[in-house]
Structure 1
Amino acid sequence: MKLGLLQVMQNWHKDLDDYQTWQYEIGMALEADRLGFDSLWCVEHHFEAYGMCGDNMQYLSYLAGLTKNIRLVPGAVILPWNDPLRVIEKMAMLEYVAPGRVALGVGRGLSRKEYRGMRQDMNESRERFDEAIEMILRGLDTGIAENDGAFYRQPRVEIRPRPRKGYRDSLFCVAMSPDSQMAAARCGATMMTFIQHAIENHVPGIEAWREEFAKHNPGRAVPAPKLTDVTLCHEDPEEAERLAHQYIGAHFSSVMEHYDFAGDHFKDTKGYEAYQQGADLIKAAGLDGARTAYINAQNWGTPEQIIEKYRERQRIVGDFEPLIVLSYAGMPDDVARNSLRLFGEKVIPAISKMQLEPAGV
């Protein structure tokens, strides 16, 4: 089992300016490389303190020269907001500055505020994603970008510097809804999802993706899905619980605000109907109840408690790989850095030796 760090680049309710926040996050990335994290991921978000990285491929290109071993993954490039030609070029260049250490993460986005700012219609997101991903994968395979589709009319051009590799075997897709799970499987992508509720509730979606992946990718082993927690690690269990409820709870509030889960717009947006069901469940449970359930679903605690929860998840879902968010929601830097240190020193050595057990709820 390999552990990755996902950076969300938040300056949400922090007493730092944006430059200070970025310098702190760069320091976290360098420390993750030193501590032996397998991979470093960074989100793409726009226009708000919720996430301040408008170009994660550019950010990872900078980190390529500062890190030694860690795998660099945009997590994720939101395809409807990016020209597929530019994604091909940037990923080809990223491989040149970090050879052998690059993978590609993609998604289609969920925030209507970001869609509005990017001048895109959310109702077209699935069609744009499906057309863009095939053009991007083909371009990275062949070094030629061309397309004649409904959304992207690309005359045939050669990519220089030439792509050193394709990404069909190192492709990840954010898959939070049944629609996205099936899309990930069809394009041969490893499913990456954020833990939102009890792990048992995630099993049907993971299994559906596994079955669809096997159907569309004969001869390929089904990869281990990436399960992402907003997490916190502390030596003292009572302090870990206090900090988790304070900061993971605040992060839940930031998610609700950024994606406007209190609204009803998802039901009228093509391809996002499943999110309205989630929003309705939150309303039914009430914000306090939903926040508590969200906190309890994440993996936090002492190193020993976190390791045991990973074992429990493995028994329930089978093979998976954890991805963690450690800095968020105005958390003080020393709290996040302590979590990072404990993961590196105590959690990574334990889970790297973890043996796969048969899944079964």
Structure 2
Amino acid sequence: MRLSVLDLVPVRTDQTSGDALAASTQLAQVADRLGYERYWVAEHHNMPAVAATSPPVLIAHLAAQTERIRMGSGGVMLPNHAPLAVAEQFALLEAAHPGRIDLGIGRAPGSDPVTSMALRGAAGRDDTDVANFPQYLDDVMALMGTEGVQVAVPRQRYILKATPAAASVPALWLLGSSMYSAELAAAKGLPYVFAHHFSGRGTAEALQAYRSRFQPSELASEPRTFLTVNAVVAETEQEAAALMLPNLHMMVALRTGQPLEPLAIVEDAEARDLPPQHHSLVDAGLARAVVGTPQQAADQVRELAGQFDVDEVMVHPVASARRGTDPATSPARDRTLELLAKELLD
């Protein structure tokens, strides 16, 4: 069993962005020390509870603060960026930390329409960028290669490269939560990750489609996949459930169109009464998460890996904190990784 970590750099009500980054830096160091395989950061924009806006900046910081764990994006939302910019950023990261960089690419905007418009600027980037996603994916792969790509320019042979003298390239992964992404990854022969932590629906069907339709490529000779799952592990089942409650409330707000806020501390979430019609959303979030004591959580991870036939699981530690916690720390997230590692990695 290999374990990895997904981090959105959550921002609690008692934290600044700097606090959240300090807490995630400590979390990455915990994962590095315990033997986790990789540590990925997401891309989300204009969200009060998420400080992970720029994966390459975060990766550069976290890779410099760790020693051996692979660092990557989970993922870069490619329609938001020019392919050359992404290729240049990750080629430099690979040059600085050879053999440790993963480039996970996704198709979703990671934001609302107004923010997407501001992010893409006045250059006219619009929804056609989503339609052109497969071509952009090819462009990033070609540009990061050691040979670069030849551009059609009249009367000359013009070579475009992400970096002048690449000795190695980042490992490329395609991310998704739909059949579209599974089929595209299979067609292009790419490693594939399903966002089970966010969707929880269609996981088995997407992974089956990916495996059955996979076309070998230079990047992968056979299907290679794992999945993500929300996780909170504590000494007691009751404490794990309490620590996860703020995240569940945040997901309810996201799915019901309510204004988003920073992640609540545990006591504030416990004092809040959700409308009865939202209880099913909380139950669904609990059902697709790993929550409980170390033994319970380890059994749930093993069951998940067996159910979907994967030998790596990426946990997204979503525990909040209790009142009085040092804002620059996230002890319950650290503890989740420590307790899981003791059961599954020792």
Interval containing the TM-score (normalised by the shorter chain)? 0.7 to 0.9
Contact 1:188 1:216 in 2 (8 A): yes
After superposing the two structures, state which structure 1 stretch, 137-146 or 64-73, moved more.
137-146
Contact 2:234 2:332 in 1 (8 A): yes
* Secondary structure in 2 matching 1:250: helix
- Alignment correspondent of 1:152: none
For residues 348 and 17 of structure 1, what CA distance do their matches in structure 2 show? 29
Contact 2:27 2:333 in 1 (8 A): no
For residues 290 and 186 of structure 1, what CA distance do their matches in structure 2 show? 34
Residues 138-167 of structure 1 show CA distances to partners (whole Å, capped at 9, x for unaligned) of 12223424557xxxxxx6334434222244
Contact 2:177 2:199 in 1 (8 A): no
Instruction: Please state how far the C-alpha of 1:74 moved relative to its aligned partner.
Output: 1.3
* Secondary structure in 2 matching 1:160: coil
Matches within 5 A, 1:275-354: 286-327=277-318, 336-344=330-338, 346-352=339-345
Contact 2:234 2:335 in 1 (8 A): no
Residues 171-208 of structure 1 show CA distances to partners (whole Å, capped at 9, x for unaligned) of 22221011122122223222222325997852112111
Instruction: Please state how far the C-alpha of 1:59 moved relative to its aligned partner.
Output: 1.6
Matches within 5 A, 1:241-280: 241-244=241-244, 246-256=245-255, 260=257
For residues 104 and 130 of structure 1, what CA distance do their matches in structure 2 show? 15
- Alignment correspondent of 2:41: 42
Matches within 5 A, 1:100-249: 100-110=99-109, 111-113=111-113, 114-119=115-120, 123-145=127-149, 156-167=159-170, 170-195=171-196, 201-213=202-214, 215=215, 217=217, 220-223=221-224, 225-244=225-244, 246-249=245-248
Contact 2:187 2:213 in 1 (8 A): yes
Instruction: Please state how far the C-alpha of 1:50 moved relative to its aligned partner.
Output: 3.6
Residues 111-143 of structure 1 show CA distances to partners (whole Å, capped at 9, x for unaligned) of 333423324766324333211110111122234
For residues 132 and 311 of structure 1, what CA distance do their matches in structure 2 show? 36
Residues 295-321 of structure 1 show CA distances to partners (whole Å, capped at 9, x for unaligned) of 221111111111111222233221242
Instruction: Please state how far the C-alpha of 1:338 moved relative to its aligned partner.
Output: 3.6
Report the residue type matching 1:348 in the other structure: A
* Secondary structure in 2 matching 1:228: strand
For residues 132 and 166 of structure 1, what CA distance do their matches in structure 2 show? 17
TM-score by length of 2: 0.80
Contact 1:56 1:74 in 2 (8 A): yes
Residues 201-246 of structure 1 show CA distances to partners (whole Å, capped at 9, x for unaligned) of 5211211111122x454982221x22212210101122223333x1
For residues 149 and 53 of structure 2, what CA distance do their matches in structure 1 show? 23
For residues 329 and 126 of structure 1, what CA distance do their matches in structure 2 show? 34
* Secondary structure in 2 matching 1:316: helix
How many residue pairs get aligned? The number is: 316
For residues 89 and 123 of structure 1, what CA distance do their matches in structure 2 show? 24
Instruction: Please state how far the C-alpha of 1:42 moved relative to its aligned partner.
Output: 0.4
Report the residue type matching 2:103 in the other structure: L
Contact 2:318 2:333 in 1 (8 A): no
Contact 2:227 2:314 in 1 (8 A): yes
Report the residue type matching 2:128 in the other structure: E
* Secondary structure in 2 matching 1:3: strand
- Alignment correspondent of 2:76: 77
For residues 35 and 15 of structure 1, what CA distance do their matches in structure 2 show? 28
- Alignment correspondent of 2:17: 18
Contact 1:64 1:98 in 2 (8 A): yes
Instruction: Please state how far the C-alpha of 1:349 moved relative to its aligned partner.
Output: 5.0
Contact 2:234 2:336 in 1 (8 A): yes
Contact 1:43 1:56 in 2 (8 A): yes
For residues 217 and 49 of structure 1, what CA distance do their matches in structure 2 show? 40
For residues 60 and 78 of structure 1, what CA distance do their matches in structure 2 show? 15
Structure with more of its chain in helix, by fraction: 1
Instruction: Please state how far the C-alpha of 1:330 moved relative to its aligned partner.
Output: 7.0
TM-score by length of 1: 0.77
For residues 230 and 342 of structure 1, what CA distance do their matches in structure 2 show? 11
For residues 282 and 129 of structure 2, what CA distance do their matches in structure 1 show? 29
For residues 196 and 65 of structure 1, what CA distance do their matches in structure 2 show? 28
Relative distance call for 1:161 and 1:61 in structure 2 (3 A) is farther
* Secondary structure in 1 matching 2:2: coil
Instruction: Please state how far the C-alpha of 1:76 moved relative to its aligned partner.
Output: 0.6
- Alignment correspondent of 2:265: none
